Chains A and B, each alone.
Chain A
Amino acid sequence: MALPASLLLLADSRLPAGGHAHSGGLEPAAEAGAVTDLPTLTAFLRGRLATTGLVAAALSAAACGHAARTRGGDGGDGGLGGHEGWSVLDAETDARMPSPAGRRASRAQGRSLLRAVREMSPHPALDALAAFSAPHHPLVLGAAVAVTGGSPADAASIGAYGAVTGPASAAVRLLGLDPLAVHRALAELAPQVDAVAAEAAGHARGDPRDLPAASAPALDIFAELHLQANLRLFES
């Protein structure tokens, strides 16, 4: 099956949704000396993928499933556009993000993505999310995939992919690494991205309480340290 262009747009880093302003924790990790070269970057990306990447991908898949089931306007909970379900997913996302800085970054990126996708493809499911002043990024991504006809597995793939491409691109800018070498590292990670996406998609229909909650203690510490830094190129 051909890759649908509407989904490629959502995975594209050129989507004007503010993603370029976030390094996924790479900037404070580089500042702390935890990422200095290609091997340490690869280890960082693998760790991020297996933890917050898995969680974000699973939340995106669950959000996609919810958006598809409620169809935006009249889905099963009193015509609120699935509002109750979105509230549950919002709370489940918060409970998996202990870092206040991490929650703010997720909500800031969610708000930017929602603005972009509502321009691109207006849909009641997106209006339902706009009821939140700043919905979490994985929930907006899942809803956006649903309204463009994608599946929870698609949402999980885009979520897992974004978990590594963002920090990889930030590493090129911050550490002056060879872009070709960084992309070779991403290519070598591709099977693991697919495996994480497959695991995440497997949770799309289950109880949101049981979604993965893999944590990354170092990323949490870095997220908070980042706010104390004097000079920051990235917001997170």
Chain B
Amino acid sequence: MTRHYTARAAVRAELGAGGRTRLATLRSDGPYALRAAPDAVYLVGAAAGPLGGDELHLRLDVAAGAALAVRSVASALLLPGDGESGAHVRAAVGPGGHLDLAFEPAVAAAGSHHRSVTEIALADGATLRWREELVLGRHGEPPGRYTARVDVTHGGDPVLRHELRLPDRTLQASGAVLGGARCTGSVLLVGPGLAKEAHAAEGLAVMPLAGPGVLVTALAADSAALRRRLVHGESLARAAVDTAENTPAGTGQTPAVRFS
């Protein structure tokens, strides 16, 4: 017998007294729980998966001036099941707000079929840090099918529309797409004070976008090397900062997120 779940979770962060962020909403059901810690809200999975057929919907609202960091406690192991599994994240960040959304890697196990959709709408003056990491297969196994799209807008204008489509191993092996790398990931920073110059090294590119952001893209043979490359790339993306007046996306500091 196969049972699917549809989990829904929502967070709303507001600016509270004394400039601290207050969680006005923290709601979750199904096998996912949201837990507020001093540094971030954590997504805690209470079951294996997702399996094919499972769906997670996460809604994030960051009100004007508030700052929210969202993490996961462990990597997500994408498993086969009855059809596609799906993860849908919709986020809205108000003026002067900051969202830092960085989950642990997704691991696309053999036979899995996963689709992830992320939509982030930033108001004018809102800032963002977003990270995604993908591991293609557990050790020594071929990966499942994986598609992830992220759409980020700022003041209604598109900043980044970016889709990773890996329907079969051909594209993973292609020198144009992943070049055989088992791991790929990105960090997107949106805000003022970021690098204006591109940088590239083996398996890493730091790319100032046409809009107000920088995308760091990395390829690596394993998840530890991927993380090192992304951390290095992120530090380069912030390297343009040379004054104390830059705002959160540029300073390398997540603003103090203290939930009260």
Which residues of A pack against B, CB within 8 Å? Answer: 25, 29, 32, 34-35, 40, 43-48, 50-52, 91-92, 94-101, 103, 209, 211-221, 223-225, 227-228
Contacts and interface: CB of A to CB of B under 8 A. Distances in A.
Given A100-B208, A221-B204, A216 B176 contact: yes
Classify the secondary structure of B's interface with A.
strand
A218 B165 contact: no
Contacts of B186: 217
Contact of B158 (A34, A92, A216, A227): A92
19 contacts: A34-B175, A43-B174, A44-B174, A47-B170, A92-B161, A95-B160, A98-B160, A98-B215, A99-B198, A100-B198, A214-B165, A215-B163, A218-B175, A219-B176, A223-B205, A224-B198, A224-B200, A225-B205, A227-B200
A99 B205 contact: yes
A95 B215 CA distance: 11
Contacts of A219: 176-177
Interface in B135-185: 149, 151, 157-165, 170-171, 173-179, 181, 184
Nearest to B164: A215
Contacts of A44: 174-176
Contacts of B177: 47, 50-51, 216-219
The 3 closest A-B pairs by CB, nearest first: A47-B174, A34-B175, A224-B200
A95 B211 contact: yes
Given A43-B175, A100-B208, A212 B163 contact: yes
Given A46-B171, A215-B164, A221 B217 contact: yes
B175 A35 contact: yes
Nearest to A102: B207
Contacts of B219: 217-218, 221
B163 A43 contact: no
Contacts, number: 128
B205 A221 contact: yes
Contacts of B184: 217
B210 interface: yes
Contacts of A35: 175
Interface string B220-251: 00000000000000000000000000000000
Contacts of B218: 217
Given A217-B217, A228-B200, A98 B162 contact: yes
A225 B207 CA distance: 11
A215 B177 CA distance: 8
Contacts of A45: 176
Contacts of B27: none
A218 B173 CA distance: 11
Contacts of A51: 165, 171, 176-177
A124 B143 CA distance: 50
